[in-house]
Amino acid sequence: MNAHLQPQTHLHRVELKSKDYKNETTSFWCAGCGHYGVLTGLLRALSEIGVDPNYLVSVSGIGCSSRLPYFVNSYKMHTLHGRAGPVATGVHLARPDLAVVITGGDGDGFSIGGGHMPHMARKNINMTYILMDNHVYGLTKGQCSPTSRTEMKTSTTPYGGVEIPLDPILYMLTYGATYVGQAFAGNVKLASQLIKDGMEHKGFAFINLLSQCPSFNEIDTAHAFKDACEQVPDGHDTSDLNAAMCAVNAAKQVGRIPTGLIYKTERPTLDQRMAELVKHVGGHKDYDLRKIIDLARP
Ligand SMILES: Cc1ncc(C[n+]2csc(CCOP(=O)(O)OP(=O)(O)O)c2C)c(N)n1
């Protein structure tokens, strides 16, 4: 097996400042957008880890949030709406020695891309997913998203919503993500800490960053997010799945948003399991494609 096809055991590291991870493209979100906080947090985390940009791939779908890779000094793939996950999975399986970071919005991840989310988590694919959760479709000018609060009036829900919002944290806990954290995007210190730990974690790391949209979400302002966010209590056992779910539910019941590291566990990753399987069957097999096609013929 080529060296670069070996499962990733460590990140390739260099010593760089966070500004070195910012490329020359000017970031072009609206003034006051929370996505700037996510970008700053990511750049800081990359510098603290010292990720080598030559071994870093940022992948996104479509949305304001999905523009983030444009601004990062890394390899990047700006893919189809909702399809960052499968593309990133392909990158990771082809080159497990690369660090793969997905960034995208709540619409991209949980509407059109919703079918992919549980599978990245349950397969424990060794990549980091940063959800830039502004509770609205920003790029297309303010439609309701799966994380929109019911009372929020949008262009598609002018009288308020008729559904309860999806909770990305409970969702990821349910489907087996092995690292789950949440922060307000304006809390760059916490956001970068979670991203750093998530990228160093071996497995699927999901980080929900609550990011205000000053143009199309009037209720979840920076102040509202900041006020509602509450660090999980001291002594919270981050290795206990039930405790994690209870902590989230308890906070939600009193209108709070739990932040910090919510859950972390170790489980074999997809690339580890695939490597074990290949070893078990005695190495990669050469298949005669013609025979397989013939077998599939009616
Ligand atoms: C197949 C397809 N359907 C719909 C769209 C239109 N579209 C582009 S971005 C977007 C939603 C973006 O919202 P979100 O992912 O929450 O990101 P934000 O812009 O809020 O950061 C939609 C519906 C599209 N580009 N492609």
The answer on pLDDT for 70 being more than 70 is yes
Q: Which atom of ligand 1 is nearest to the CA of 81?
A: 26
Helix, strand, coil percentages (3-state) for the chain, rounded to 5, are 40, 20, 45
User: Which protein residue has the closest C-alpha to ligand 1 atom 22?
Assistant: 140
How remote is the CA of residue 111 from the centroid of ligand 1, in Å? 9
Nearest atom of ligand 1 to the alpha carbon of 106: 16
Distance from Cα 285 to the centre of ligand 1, integer Å: 41
- pLDDT score for 6: 52
Average pLDDT of the residues in 27-31: 94
Cα–Cα distances in angstroms (integers) from residue 260 to residues 32, 59, 85, 181, 233, in the given order: 23, 24, 24, 6, 9
Average confidence (pLDDT) over 61-74: 98
pTM here?
0.94
Q: How confident is the model at residue 11 (pLDDT cuts 50, 70, 90)?
A: confident
Look at residue 281 in the predicted model and tell me its pLDDT.
86
CA atoms within 13 A on the CB side of 165: 19
Tokens of 84: 């960052």
19-24 contact pairs (CB < 8 A, 24+): 19/43, 20/47, 20/73, 21/46, 21/47, 21/53, 21/72, 21/73, 21/74, 22/71, 22/72, 22/73, 23/70, 23/71, 23/72, 23/73
Q: How far is CA 242 from CA 12, 114, 201, 246, 250, in A?
A: 35, 24, 21, 6, 12
Atom of ligand 1 nearest to the CA of 133: 16
pLDDT at position 289 is 78
Ligand 1 atom nearest to 65, measured from its CA = 21
Supply the residue whose CA is at minimum distance from atom 4 of ligand 1. Answer: 81
For residue 89, the surrounding DSSP H or E stretch is helix 84-94
Locate the ligand 1 atom nearest the alpha carbon of residue 35 and give its number.
21
Domains and CATH numbers, the chain: 3-269 (3.40.50.970)
Nearest alpha carbon, ligand 1 atom 24: 81
Confirm if 147 and 106 have CB atoms less than 8 A apart.
Answer: yes
Of all atoms in ligand 1, which is nearest to the CA of residue 139?
A: 19
**Best mutation site among 140, 152, 154 for ligand 1, i.e. most ligand atoms within 8 A of its Cβ?**
140
C-alpha 63 to ligand 1 mean position (Å): 5
Whether 128 shows a pLDDT value over 70: the answer reads yes
For residues 211-236, give the mean pLDDT. 97
Which residue out of 108, 110, 130 has the highest number of ligand 1 atoms within 8 Å of its CB and is therefore the one to mutate? 108
Is the pLDDT assigned to residue 1 strictly greater than 70?
no
Q: Within 6 Å (CB) of ligand 1, which residues are found?
A: 62-65, 81, 104-108, 112, 132, 134, 136-140, 145
Task: State the pLDDT at residue 167.
Answer: 98
**Quick one: tokens of 201?**
């974690």
Query: Does pLDDT of 240 surpass 50?
Result: yes
Q: How high does pLDDT run on average in the chain?
A: 94
pLDDT band at 284 (very low <50, low <70, confident <90, very high): confident
How does residue 273 score in pLDDT terms, banded at 50, 70 and 90? very high
Q: Output the pLDDT for position 290.
A: 83
